[in-house]
Chains A and B, each alone.
Chain A
Amino acid sequence: MRSRGLGSFAVGSLIAGAILWSLLTTEVELSRLLSAGPRIADFLGRMVPPDPTVMNEIMKGSAETLRIAILGSLGAVILSVPLGILASETMVSPALFRPVRTLLALIRAVPLILVAMLMVGAVGLGPLPGIISVAIHATGMLAKFYAEAIDNVSRAPIAALESAGAGPMARLRHSIWPQMAPVVARDTIFRFELNLRESLILGIVGAGGIGFYIQTYVRSFQYDKAASVTLAVIVMVITIETINVALRRRFA
């Protein structure tokens, strides 16, 4: 009891210390916040009405973002199948799956935008660094999901097929695969949706897609055009989300 009391005191002090440190060392000038009201109103005012003349740029940018998400997801699936097997507790020994899982956790810890900045440096501007970044970044999560799908396969039906005399290939095909396939499909669709959302901002660092136009219009104070692009992004996200929800329901 006593050590627990001490523990909560330590945690409390740590949190209080962190908040105080942040407040005292960041220049929080409340006066700036007070004068922000009219400026936000002005900013919003300049966004209406959205400028519809940028339709071409919107279509071009959205198509590129969609292509980045599709090809990036494809790359992630290709990387995640072998890595998922190597990260599975039931397929390989701890000496192998532990380091592979650590590697996947490290990949997950790096934000997509950071990977993209590195890739732009490595392969230059355009959608290619975007595709590579999405593929790498998404693998951190997707390979983990695949490993869990493998590990959650129930053993009993496999034993039943073994008992009936089915060979390893037939067991894989008729007992393991029917259990895994819907889970893998659901996880992949889920990750594709995340990839699409995350790749919207890739253009900001020059890795292709619609983010480039948002960046350009905001920097050049063309808020009415930025508003049109933002609306297009919202429509695109909602559309893909609706399709994905319907697809995921099919694999219930």
Chain B
Amino acid sequence: MTSAIQIDDLSYTHPGAELRALEHVSLAVPSGERIALLGPSGAGKTTLLTLLDGRLRGWRGRASVLGAPLNPDHPPARAQRPDTGFVFQEFALVERSSVLRNVLNGRLGRMSLVRAVLWRPTSRDLSLARAALADCGIADLVERRVDSLSGGQRQRVAIARCLAQEPRLILADEPVSNLDPARASETLTLVTGAARARGATVMFSSHQPDLARRFADRFVGMRDGRIVFDEAVDDLSEAATAELYRETVIPPGSGLRAVS
């Protein structure tokens, strides 16, 4: 089996920050697997996902995604980018543009420069965008402007944009953090189902281990920039995942995080 993600001894500190966001992180994800990235806020989940998406510079270690190595000093080659799709936590849509345009934006990486700038999507671009919209259950919203949509609808547009990109790896940053339980379950069904249908690998971060359990093959737990567990979902007890979210003790006035 080929590997979708292969990272080795990654470390990263945000500019100006004292604590490391990632500390000696190593991970191997085989193609087609569904990974849930767990951990409290500030554990380094978003940083790791952003790095895998090729949008972070100045890290140390080795990383390759879908067989292509990432370079800490340069963005990935343009041809390589659309293979990795990203679902942003705050959706990151162009608010004043229509739903269809936002979804077609996901095709920009696969269009020629002339087509992209002059906005001449091919019929294949259009049919992929429409298929993604249908998969996300929002085919009836194509002409609506994004700023007229509800939060749940926006999220579906964001997912459709990612799917239209034809990614082989889908990275989703807290895709269900702002949703009620029914919608959260629906969204994860959509993302993991669409990934399965396309043979894509999925890695999503979440604060809800009980929910994530139903949609992931494997749990990777992070805390303070380190991976604290990495196991098949069935091998991990609920107590172990709960332990991850145990409150960190911060001594008053110290400004330092206590070693727990």
Q: A residues touching B (Cβ–Cβ < 8 Å)?
A: 154, 156-157, 159-167, 169-170, 173-175, 178-179, 182
Indicate if B113 sits at the interface (CB-CB under 8 A). yes
Indicate if B110 sits at the interface (CB-CB under 8 A). yes
A169 and B78 alpha carbons, distance in the complex (Å) = 13
Is B97 in contact with A173, judged by CB distance below 8 angstroms? no
Known contacts A167-B78, A169-B116; is A161 also within 8 Å of B55 by CB? no
Is B108 in contact with A165, judged by CB distance below 8 angstroms? yes
Is A178 in contact with B94, judged by CB distance below 8 angstroms? yes
Q: B residues touching A (Cβ–Cβ < 8 Å)?
A: 53-55, 75, 78-82, 84-86, 88, 90-97, 101, 105-111, 113, 116-117, 119, 161, 165
A179 and B90 alpha carbons, distance in the complex (Å) = 17
Is A170 in contact with B88, judged by CB distance below 8 angstroms? no
A175 and B109 alpha carbons, distance in the complex (Å) = 14
Q: Which residues of the other chain, A, contact B75 by a CB distance below 8 angstroms?
A: 162
Known contacts A157-B92, A179-B96; is A163 also within 8 Å of B117 by CB? no
Is A164 in contact with B105, judged by CB distance below 8 angstroms? yes
Is A163 in contact with B53, judged by CB distance below 8 angstroms? yes
Closest chain A CB from B72 CB (angstroms): 17
Q: Which residues of the other chain, A, contact B79 by a CB distance below 8 angstroms?
A: 165
Is B94 in contact with A179, judged by CB distance below 8 angstroms? yes
Chain B, Cβ-Cβ closest to A166: B108
Closest chain A CB from B187 CB (angstroms): 18
Is B55 in contact with A165, judged by CB distance below 8 angstroms? no
Most buried by B among A157, A160, A182: A160
Is A161 in contact with B108, judged by CB distance below 8 angstroms? yes
Chain A, Cβ-Cβ closest to B165: A164
Most buried by B among A156, A161, A165, A175: A165
A157 and B157 alpha carbons, distance in the complex (Å) = 13
Known contacts A169-B113, A170-B113, A170-B116; is A164 also within 8 Å of B108 by CB? yes
Is A164 in contact with B93, judged by CB distance below 8 angstroms? no
Q: Which residues of the other chain, A, contact B101 by a CB distance below 8 angstroms?
A: 174
Is B119 in contact with A173, judged by CB distance below 8 angstroms? yes
Q: Which residues of the other chain, B, contact A162 by a CB distance below 8 angstroms?
A: 55, 75, 81
Closest chain A CB from B48 CB (angstroms): 15
A31 and B235 alpha carbons, distance in the complex (Å) = 99
A170 and B85 alpha carbons, distance in the complex (Å) = 18
Q: Which residues of the other chain, B, contact A166 by a CB distance below 8 angstroms?
A: 105, 108-109, 116
Is B105 in contact with A175, judged by CB distance below 8 angstroms? yes
Q: Which residues of the other chain, A, contact B117 by a CB distance below 8 angstroms?
A: 169-170, 173
Is B96 in contact with A164, judged by CB distance below 8 angstroms? no
Q: Which residues of the other chain, B, contact A182 by a CB distance below 8 angstroms?
A: 96
Known contacts A157-B94, A170-B108, A182-B96; is A163 also within 8 Å of B116 by CB? no
Q: Which residues of the other chain, A, contact B88 by a CB distance below 8 angstroms?
A: 156, 159-160
